[in-house]
Each structure stands twice: as structure tokens, then as C-alpha cells.
A and B are shown apart, each in its own frame.
Chain A
């Protein structure tokens, strides 16, 4: 099963290496990863998407907690949460398909963020399913380049990570 895990860590030298090393060293997989400082600049928030059965996820969470620089770990998969990622897609903008590109962008509530004689660059944000669906729809129109971010996540309601 796919799990979205957020980890609050000390914003210290080498933390990312410790976390990625834990995953590679123990044979856990990382599907996506994002890191950035929080409001308190001494901490960073990481969001990791991983897959595994219950026993593996239990080990992943325990092992993360065991790292000295990890302050808190939340597995969102048990609850209602918001997940967002962003994609930038550069597409061939021929006179024949420009209208279709704009229509798709509108349906997915995306934005055209850059335009040149031959290309449109589009930004779409959303949960994994939405971002993937957009990419699938736009593929036949001729993607030149794509950049996808790792996902970030947050609980709904009052609950917080740290």
C-alpha cells in the first residue's frame, strides 16, 4: 500500500543523507521526497511517499523515529489529509493544438506560466492522481519536457505535525 509520511527533523547537516541512507540500506523504497524548512528555521519538514505492507511500514516509521535528528513522524494514510504536488510541462504549441492545450489546462485548473513561439509551459498542482491524470491527457499533444515535484502533505482540521 502507498503511504504518505511526514517527518519533522532538525535542520542539521547530513539529515537528508541519514534518511535516504536508511531507506536504501534497509531496502525500503522512496517514491517521492520533498524537504524544506518550516517556520522555525531550526527544523525541516520532509514528506516521503513509500510503498509496503503493514510490517514494512511499521519498520519504516520506527526506524525513522530512531534517527537522532528526527523529532516527529506522521503516517497520513490512516486519516484524511491534503496532499499536493506540482508539475511543470513544456508542450509543443502548434497552431493546431493550442486550443486543446488551453482547454486541458483549464479543466485541471492549471496555468500557462511561459509562452514562446513554439511552446507553452503549464503548471498544474494537486494530489498525485490529478497531476498524473493531467500528464496522461497532455501526452498525446507532445510533451517536450516535464518536471514534477515531490509531494507535500498536511492533516485536515486542527491536527498538526509539530
Chain B
């Protein structure tokens, strides 16, 4: 029996176990939409803007660990996905984005709604396909999911010309995918693991520096075991948050530009830094040649290009992080070292740093401090929620003040720093976990970048809560202007702001405003109890800054503390 490309598309997704699409229709993808109409098993969430669809697929993937799927039309539909794709690429998130394309005979003719989306997205995809023959469609879809989810994960774009969706062929979905040109190295070399274990045995002041790879490979349990066995402190990047409980005695919290005092001091004084699924981003290292100046560097990563890219590495380990962690734990289990005794002076030193400069802010009774809102969110939810963030001060306060316990509970655009990410990502996460509390910790600027998705949340009855830390500024940029540009606040104040409560109501969502500290907790409780899409407008202290701060280009130990 023969099927159309559109039928094969639907069958392939179901075979793949992907039963949720975030999408937006248009001319060339109509054949697929016609099939979706007949296939209620394959759920489709209609977004309000294609960027939203990709961020939702991304949020779905980060929260669930399963690949996210987006479907859009050609031309403007496809170009609207670019920021979402680049966001997923920078953070190594497995998503597959299907774009419609004009019929093959018209490609290259500047046809109506034609865009060379393969060309436009080439630098920000893990891989991409233009399907030119319906016979290749099923195998291409299988390859796309395989590539997106294996090795270092990432976004894959599949461009689907309309004639391919209408042409017919047999349906055969490959059981397994094997590509001679792509064999992700998943097994860590035993020798290198032994070298790493030996270095740990020798080190006096080791630090485990953990990135998003720990979450992508679901290796949090192995990390906990390693850290507790060898009694080594753990610091996390923004992307690594959640992989190690932040209230654990061995947790140093986040490092880098807005990292904790103790994390940045520990990294500056360590003699062995063990990078686990992290990539020495400039927001983490500060001034590169003064980063961890006394340290040997060990680096475990599935992507060989990440190793020795920014920092010379003494002990490279290429392979799947979870596999490497298991092997490392096995070797460590044989060790005769009394780790506790060996690291006692180091942990005492860290304890001193911990108490010297805690994360702190001046509490007020007449005005809401943004940090207080995050603390209240943490308290009211008991940390049992999925958090997303926008970008700016809101993101950094969320990273600093949430006491995250579990992986996949903190979704944030780290690499690209995409304002407008958090809200659609929260919708995607909520679609994956309809019963969980999902909260987007937002800024008043960022939320306006994808506010239209309120319509999606209301239509789908996804009870996402948006907590706007409304400082009436593009706060993080204003902070830089204050600190580094002589208080000249050039174009960082949106003097006209919507009434967010009325805006929520206009969309059929719940709107709440809090202007006093004592209203913060009750507002959150009301929102959580409502179980419907809610915006809470927290009117906060306008010129609060994020501290500590390592000015761009400074070494990590040169922190501005207040």
C-alpha cells in the first residue's frame, strides 16, 4: 500500500513515539494539517508565533528529556523559527523542526513564501535535511531524531517541499539508524578515567565544575555519588543548575559572572578543576588567562571540539558523561584514600568563604525586593515545581535564590540568552507535565517578546504562572549602564508598559498584582491554587542590582559584592 508524504510524516512521528507537535499552519504544510485533522492521537498545539513553537518544543525537551517537535510553514513561518533553533543549538537541546518548503520545481525561483531555511539555519543546527524524494522521507525523519538525541544533542531541521508531501510511496520506517559518517563516541576511555581518578587522589583542592551535559545525560545520581564519596565541592554553571542539590553541604552554587563568592574563590584557588559536561564559556571563566591559575584541568565531554577550545586540558576524557561518571565511580570505589581527611582543610577554607560573603540583599518592608519574590516562590512551591526564566536580572536572581534540588527543573536560555524564551518554554514544560506547577520567572521587558503565547496557554488550559519581576527597566542593561556607563540610562526604560493584570484578563487568563512584600506569598498561593494561566505583576524595587558581579573581562576573584 502506498501513502502520501503527509501520511508518512504522521506515521513516522507516531513510530518515533513523538505524540505532540507545537505548530502553526500555512499553505505548503496543508497536506500535513489535513492528516493531523484525521489523527487525534498525534496532538498538535497551535501557537501564536513560530518562535513560540520552537521554544515550546525546547522547553518540552528540557523538562522531559524527550525530543521536542515543531512544525511550521515555509518562508516567514520558517524564518520565524531561527531564534528558537539558535537557542536550542547553543544549549544542546534535542528538537526536530519541520519546515514546509515550496514545491521542488520552484526552489530557487524566489517563489511565493520561499526561504532558503537550510541556508539560513546552517550555522545553528546540528544537522539539516531538504527532502527531495518522498522515498527518503521516513528514513530522513528517523535520522533527524537519531541525530538530534545522540552524542551532543541539538536541533535538526527537516525541510519538506509541498510536492514531496503529496507524492506517494510505501511506508517503511527504519528500526535502527546507522550512519557511517556519524558515530557519536559514547564510551569513555578507561585509561583516561584512571588518570582522572589518580589526579583526584593527588589533588588537595579539587573542584567539580558541572555544566548542562550532566542534565542532558541524566547523570545527577552519579554526580551525587562521586561528590559525596570523594568529599569534593561542586559548582554549577547556569546550565548545570539542578544537577546537584543546592542545599547540599558540598554545593558551591553557581560560578561565573554572577556566581557565588565561594564558588568563584574556590575555582580561583583550586589545584584540580574537573569539568563535567561544561564548556568554559566566557561568562563562566571571566578573564581567561587568570581562570583557575593554579589548576590542572580535567575535562569530560562527549563533544571533542569542546575540549581544549578555551582552556588547555591536561586530562581529556571524550565520551558520554553518564558512562564516564559510572566508570569513574567504579575506579574511585577501589581507592584507599581517606577523602574526608585529605579534603578537610580545603572544605574548611570553603566554609570560611561561604560565611564571609553570602548571597544577600537589603530587606525592605515598604517595597518588594526582586530577590524576595524568588525566595517566596521557592518557599511556596517547596522547590517542587519546574522553573523557567527570561533573560536579564530576573534570570540571575532565579539562578541565585532558587534552591533547586533536581535536574530538569530549571529551564533557561544560557548560551544565546534569548529574551522571550521563558514563557513559551514554560508552556512546553507544562504540556509535558500537566499536573506540575510551572513558573516562568520573568522580566517586564522579556515577557513582552512572546506575550502572545498567553493565547496558547489559555486555549490549551495549561496553567503556567508568569511571575514578572517588574522593575520598569531592561534591568540588566540598566545595571551595566549604571556601573560601566556613568549612570546614562540610554533607552532602557519602557515608559509605556501594558497593565499586565488587564492584559492577562483580556486573554482570558488570571491577572494579579502585588506591590507590598506581604502580598507576595498570598499572590503566589492564589496563582497556584487557580490552576489556570496566570500573570502576577510583582512591582519591585526599580534599581536593584545583581551581585556578586564579575565585570566582563575581569578575573573571577575580582567580584563587585555590592
Contacts and interface: CB of A to CB of B under 8 A. Distances in A.
Contacts of A63: 305
A9 interface: yes
Contacts of A18: 122
Interface centre among B119, B122, B132, B305 (most CB of A within 10 A): B305
B127 interface: yes
A44 to B, nearest CB: 12
A13 B130 contact: yes
A62 B118 contact: no
Interface string A1-38: 00000000110011001100100010000000000000
Contacts of A62: 304-305
B484 interface: no
Contacts of B305: 59, 62-63, 66
Interface stretch (A67-75, A81-89, A91-99): A67-75
A39 interface: no
A58 B182 CA distance: 19
A132 B305 CA distance: 35
Nearest to A17: B122
B119 A68 contact: no
Contacts of B182: 68
A55 interface: yes
B355 interface: no
A67 to B, nearest CB: 8
A68 B304 contact: no
B123 A68 contact: no
B123 A25 contact: yes
Nearest to B124: A25
B119 A58 contact: no
Contacts of B180: 71
B139 interface: no
B448 to A, nearest CB: 31
B303 interface: yes
A132 to B, nearest CB: 33
A21 B181 contact: no
A17 B181 contact: no
B117 to A, nearest CB: 12
Contacts of A105: none
Q: From DSSP, what is the main secondary structure of chain B's interface residues?
A: mixed
A119 interface: no
Nearest to B147: A68
Contacts of A13: 130, 132
B309 interface: yes
A20 to B, nearest CB: 10
A5 to B, nearest CB: 15
B303 A66 contact: yes
Interface in B167-224: 179-182
A70 B128 CA distance: 14
A38 B304 CA distance: 28
B12 to A, nearest CB: 19
Q: From DSSP, what is the main secondary structure of chain A's interface residues?
A: helix
A10 B182 CA distance: 11
Contacts of B309: 59
B126 interface: yes
A21 B304 contact: no
A130 to B, nearest CB: 34
A63 B305 CA distance: 6
A129 B309 CA distance: 33
Contact of A9 (B123, B147, B181): B181
A14 B118 contact: yes
B79 interface: no
A14 B130 contact: yes
Contacts of A21: 122-123
A16 to B, nearest CB: 11
B122 A68 contact: no
B113 interface: no
Nearest to B182: A68
B308 interface: yes
Given A21-B122, A69-B181, A71-B181, A58 B308 contact: yes
Given A10-B181, A71-B180, A17 B119 contact: yes
Contacts of A71: 180-181
Contact of B304 (A10, A14, A65): A65
A162 B381 CA distance: 57
A58 B147 CA distance: 24
A146 B85 CA distance: 44
A10 B303 CA distance: 21
Nearest to B119: A17
Contacts of A17: 119, 122
A68 B303 contact: no
A68 B148 CA distance: 11
Interface in B285-314: 303-305, 308-309
Nearest to A10: B181
Interface in B116-151: 118-119, 122-123, 126-128, 130, 132, 147
Interface of B: 118-119, 122-123, 126-128, 130, 132, 147, 179-182, 303-305, 308-309
27 contacts: A9-B181, A10-B181, A13-B130, A13-B132, A14-B122, A14-B128, A14-B130, A18-B122, A21-B122, A21-B123, A25-B123, A55-B308, A58-B308, A59-B305, A62-B304, A62-B305, A63-B305, A65-B304, A66-B303, A68-B126, A68-B127, A68-B147, A68-B179, A68-B181, A69-B181, A71-B180, A71-B181
Given A55-B308, A65-B304, A66-B304, 15 more contacts: A9-B181, A13-B130, A14-B128, A14-B130, A17-B119, A18-B122, A21-B122, A25-B123, A62-B304, A63-B305, A66-B305, A68-B127, A68-B179, A68-B181, A69-B181
For the complex of A and B, 3 pairs with smallest distance between CB atoms: A68-B127, A62-B305, A71-B181
